[in-house]
Every structure is written in C-alpha cells, then in structure tokens.
C-alpha cells in the first residue's frame, strides 16, 4: 500500500510542561485536534517542533508518541535533524525504530558543503533507509539553498520523494514546480510558508507544511480544498484571513525568531486550551505579559475552530 503525501501537513509543535519536559498529554490533544480538523499528515520534529533543542532521548519519545497517537489515520513524517550524513543516519535509525512513514532531512549544516557534497549527502541518507526521504530546503538555518535541478535529478533517481520548501525564494519555487512537472512529477512539492499558500497552490504545489497550521488547521484544510476545486477567489479570501492570524508572530520584540514565532504558536494554543503551557526549550524564553495578551486578542478576532 502506497502512502500519499499531499495536502496540509502541519509541522507539529512539541508542547512542554512548566518544568520544560515533553508534555505528552498536550501533544495528544494537539494531534487529535489536527486530525479532527482534517489535516492530511503530521510532520514531527521539524524546526517548529523545536527539534534542534531536543536530546536524542526526547526525540525518541516524541516520535513514538506521534506514531501511537496518529495510529495510522494520517502519515507521520519525521525530521532527522543533524549536521552531516553519519549523524543524520543515526537519527534515521531513531525514526525507523519509532515506526514513522517518511523522513525529512536538510542539507548539511555547521559543515559548509559544495553543491556536489549536498547531493551526495542526500544519496547517502537515502541509501541507509527504506523510508521515503523528503528534502527540506531551509537556507535561513543551514545557509545553503537546494538547487531545483538537483532536486528533480534526485527525484528521478528515486533518492527523494519530495521537497519541503521553506526557502522564501518564490522564483526558485516556481522553477522547481515547473521542472518537476516537466520531468514527469517524480517529486511532491510542499511550501513551508504560511501566508503565500494560495499562490503556491495556484503555481502547482502539492501541499503545505504551515507552522500556523497548529493553530488554525481547519482554515488551511478549507483553503487547500478550495484550491483543489479551483475556487481561487475563496482560496485567496481564506489566505487573507490566515495572514491576519499570522500577525501573532510579529508581536514579540527583542527576542529570537524562535521565541517570537514558535512562542506565538504555543501562546495561541495555550489560549485556545489545546496545550497547557507556552513554555519553550532552553535557552529560548517563553513569551509573557502584554505579548501574550496581544496574541490572544488576535486569535480571538480570527476565531479558529477549536
């Protein structure tokens, strides 16, 4: 049986309790709500899942928990976050042991690879697993951009099954979508950007991996459905509503992107009663006071389905 990867696949947050430990009950409520609202898959241990901050032991717990809760209702994709192939492959083993359906790997980081080394990196990872491999293009974190032509080549060679594009480079994204189609669509292509999903789907994207989808999964699913039906005016209207909600990530000041963005998602979900705490992984501070109040106000105005 082949699993289909497309549609709305949120990068699931990792809720923490007040002492900073993984809050599995909150994680369960979060995932149950996502599934109930119709998402097409779950991406755990992505950047939004604070993967870079979790120890291997914590990662293993999160993966096992996600697979248990999903229970085959939707596929589970797992981030295998580390700097180079040997270390990534150790993460792949963790993910395989947990029983996930696919893995998601970035280009090397800390290391400074040539384009050829990045390509070899993905080939080494894929050779080490039977699971479908997705390439995660995130230059703001790894400081190199994946070349569209390389991605299509890796797709044609059966090395990767798809791409999550968080590059913020909409021209390269369009070129990737078109090159993939011209090659017979070996790849499924996702955008990772919350507020340009209507345009990305119009351009031919197969789906979206939106961090904000943790907060408002129903609207993303509705947007995706409108796009599938070709109702672009409705898709744009929903995207605008979502973009208004996205303003929650711009409320904090003087803190890192992690604190502002992921902290806003967690604060919104705590406000909605889905998770218990907006606590972030050390050394990232949790949002508080006025910032949380402003976020709650935006959420209330936006009215996501709980």
Catalytic positions, please? Answer: 136, 164
Q: Are 55 and 62 in contact (CB under 8 A)?
A: no
Beta strands in the chain (DSSP E): 7-8, 42-44, 76-79, 102-106, 133-137, 162-165, 188-191, 207-208
Q: Residue 98 carries which DSSP code?
A: H
Contact status: 193 vs a second copy (CB under 8 A)? yes
Residues 149-168, mask of contacts with a second copy (x by CB under 8 A)? -------------------x
Nearer to a second copy, 71 or 229 (CB): 229
Task: Please pick, from the candidates 126, 284, 295, 298, the single residue that binds a second copy as defined by CB under 8 A.
Answer: 284
Residues 52-71, mask of contacts with a second copy (x by CB under 8 A)? xxxxx-x-------------
CB neighbours of residue 58 within 10 Å: 18
Q: Are 119 and 154 in contact (CB under 8 A)?
A: yes
> How far is residue 82's CA from residue 116's CA, in Å, rounded to a whole number?
19
Which of 35-43, 62-70, 206-214, 252-260 is the region at the interface with a second copy (rule: CB under 8 A)?
Answer: 252-260
Phi-psi region of 273 (alpha: psi -120 to 50; beta: other; left: phi over 0): left
> How far is residue 23's CA from residue 13's CA, in Å, rounded to a whole number?
11
Task: Please pick, from the candidates 101, 137, 165, 198, the single residue that binds a second copy as defined by CB under 8 A.
Answer: 198
Query: Applying CB under 8 A, which residues contact a second copy?
Result: 47, 52-56, 58, 81, 83-87, 90, 108-114, 116-118, 120-121, 124, 140-143, 168-171, 174-175, 178, 193-196, 198-200, 202-204, 230, 232-233, 235-236, 239-240, 243-244, 254-259, 281-285
């Amino acid at each position: 049986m082949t699993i289909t990867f497309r549609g709305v696949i949120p990068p699931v947050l990792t809720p923490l309790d007040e002492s900073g430990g993984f809050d599995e009950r909150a994680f369960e409520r979060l995932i149950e709500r996502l599934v109930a609202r119709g998402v097409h898959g779950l991406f755990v241990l992505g950047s939004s899942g604070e993967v870079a901050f979790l120890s291997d032991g914590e990662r293993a717990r999160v993966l096992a928990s996600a697979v248990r809760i999903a229970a085959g209702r939707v596929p589970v994709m797992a981030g295998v976050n580390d700097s180079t192939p040997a270390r990534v492959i150790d993460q792949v083993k963790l993910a395989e042991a947990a029983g996930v359906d696919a893995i998601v790997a970035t280009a090397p980081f800390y290391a400074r690879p040539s384009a050829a080394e990045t390509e070899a990196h993905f080939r080494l990872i894929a050779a080490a697993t039977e699971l479908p491999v997705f390439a995660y293009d995130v230059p703001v974190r790894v400081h190199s951009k994946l070349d569209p032509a390389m991605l299509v080549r890796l797709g044609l060679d059966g090395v990767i099954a798809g791409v999550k594009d968080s590059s913020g480079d909409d021209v390269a994204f369009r070129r990737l979508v078109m090159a993939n189609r011209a090659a017979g669509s070996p790849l499924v292509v996702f955008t990772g950007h919350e507020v340009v999903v209507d345009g990305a789907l119009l351009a031919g994207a197969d789906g979206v991996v939106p961090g904000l989808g943790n907060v408002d999964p129903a609207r993303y699913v509705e947007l995706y459905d409108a796009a599938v039906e070709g109702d672009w005016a409705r898709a744009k209207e929903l995207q605008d509503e979502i973009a208004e909600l996205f303003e929650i990530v711009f409320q904090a000041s003087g803190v890192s992107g992690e604190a502002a963005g992921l902290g806003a998602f967690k604060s919104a979900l705590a406000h909605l009663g889905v998770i218990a705490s907006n606590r972030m992984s050390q050394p990232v501070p949790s949002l508080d006071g006025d910032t949380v109040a402003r976020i709650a106000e935006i959420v209330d105005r936006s009215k996501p389905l709980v």
